Amino acid sequence: MLKKLFSFSGRYSILHRTWFAFFLTFVCWFNFAPFATTIGKQLQLAPEQIKTLAICNLALTIPARIIIGMLLDRFGPRRTYSMLLIFAAVPCLATALSQDFNQLVISRLLMGIVGSGFVVGIRMVSEWFPPKEMGIAQGIYGGWGNFGAFGAEFALPILAVSTSFLAGGASNWRFAIALTGIIAAIYGVIYYNSVQDTPPGKVYKKPKKNGSLEVTSVKSFWAMIISNFGLIFALGLLAWRLEQKNIHFLTLSQMYLAWLLLGGLFAYQTYKAWQVNRELLIGKKTYAASERFQFGQVALLEFTYVTNFGSELAAVSMLPAFFEKTFSLEHVVAGMIAATYPFLNLISRPSGGLISDKFGSRKWTMTIISVGIGIGYLMTHFINSSWPIPLAIAATMFAAYCAQAGCGATYGIVPLIKKEATGQIAGNVGAYGNFGGVVYLTIFSLTDAPTLFTTMAIAAFICAFMCAFFLKEPQGSFAAADESELPETATKNSTVLLEE
């Protein structure tokens, strides 16, 4: 695959167009972090408010990734991605025009929807590449797309400074943020007119039922319900944070109302899950062994994504301010240094997928990388002003490499579970990455950076233990059949499932 990677024809053209769509959504999603301290000073925000905005940036991505996953499986990645890119202009312009904390909260909550774009490309890439190349293909998509976080942290401050003459000599963050949304919207139109959901002659498979994931055992049903509750909990945690002192976006009664609405959402999710799986639950339907998959395995992948992508979200959101304060740097310089973390996505996430393809065991790849994540964040725990800046950067990059390689390894497995439900499964796993980001950033907002790094390290070591003893090797992980080039009837037996 690597020899043909830059051919820009056939499936490789789809891969490049899709990772660039993901890249733009991440530029938009992370366009606030490089200007956090500048915006705070201009709009007179308290430090707690700035930290809370970082959490808001992640919050709605949690339900959005699940909803986008359902829409994706039903309408296809071409239409779904295009509309999401066009929508990105709304929160970008809203952020650029914001005059106070409340307006920023609303705009960043909406921006969280844009962060769900990652899920769409997972399905697109899985349609065009075979199982034996799934790790590297998904790694390139995810890694080069995630490079958008680097683009935001490195390029946007330069753009803001270079256009400062338009803002009376001050850093023109409003123009930089608005421009990202306009570019994303334009590319949304281009993407719609330049890709297709599947290779010629291949039928796009849709779930038989909509509204919830169709599971294959009663045990998996209850595991899914518990998983859904975890995501609702993260949103409830955000509502609590927005009510705390020095924030006061919500009153106490409004927080309780938010909790009540979240309880109603969980009840509705549970009802839809029961509706979709009713025949299974009452004993009227059973699944053949070839059709089954364990949701418990999905839940474990959700946990791996908490420890790798969740920690990446937290780190990317707080590192610019961390380097600025720790080493007394200008915000532009601090942003560039912090950008070394997302910069590694260019190689780390693809290499994680490639290792998963070549190592011969996706299970042990995931285990070993999780140990590396733990070691990396233990190292960053000790960074302080006495450290040489190059050494601090090196420690940060080691943690970054392991976390991002873990993302690639996770999504080397996700598309191999149940093809027609890839969007929903990818959405669930992706949402837990945001769950991790919300929890980690909430911890950071209440404590400090060393505590955050220690927490992320401990979670990674626990994840490694869980993978070693409970993660199962997907059957057919390294199948040579190229589904993108075979007719539907010939690919029926090559759909890879996790057996119960």
| Sign of the four-CA dihedral 382, 430, 61, 151 | positive
pLDDT of residue 153: 78
Give the gyration radius of the chain's Cα atoms: 22
pLDDT of residue 495: 37
Reference 67, options 427, 425, 421; nearest CA is 427
Reference 58, options 241, 292, 257, 238; nearest CA is 238
| CA atoms within a 13 Å half-sphere pointing along the CA-CB vector of 94 | 19
CB 355 within 8 A of CB 134: no
The answer for residues whose C-beta is within 8 angstroms of residue 140's C-beta and 6 or more apart is 5, 15, 19, 349, 350, 353
List, as one string, the DSSP characters of 143-183: HHHHHHHHHHHHHHHHHHHHTGGGGTTS--HHHHHHHHHHH
Residue linked to tokens 């539907």: 488
pLDDT of residue 482: 42
pLDDT of residue 362: 85
Residue linked to tokens 């979200």: 313
pLDDT of residue 478: 65
pLDDT of residue 239: 87
Domains belonging to the chain, first-starting first, are 9-194+214-494 (1.20.1250.20)
pLDDT of residue 390: 92
From first to last of its 500 residues, the chain has per-residue pLDDT tens of 556 767 777 889 999 999 999 999 999 998 988 888 888 888 988 888 887 888 788 778 888 888 888 888 888 999 999 999 999 999 999 999 999 989 999 999 999 899 888 889 989 998 888 888 888 888 899 889 888 888 887 888 888 888 877 766 666 889 999 999 999 999 999 999 999 998 888 888 877 777 788 899 999 999 999 999 988 998 898 888 888 767 777 889 999 999 999 999 999 999 999 999 999 999 998 888 878 888 888 999 999 999 999 998 898 888 888 898 899 888 778 878 887 887 888 888 888 888 888 887 888 999 999 999 999 999 999 999 999 999 999 999 999 999 999 998 898 888 888 877 777 888 889 889 888 988 898 899 888 899 999 999 999 999 999 999 999 887 766 665 544 344 444 333 333 333 33
Reference 210, options 65, 114, 72; nearest CA is 72
pLDDT of residue 1: 57
Cα angle for residues 302, 198, 413 (degrees, 5° grid): 25
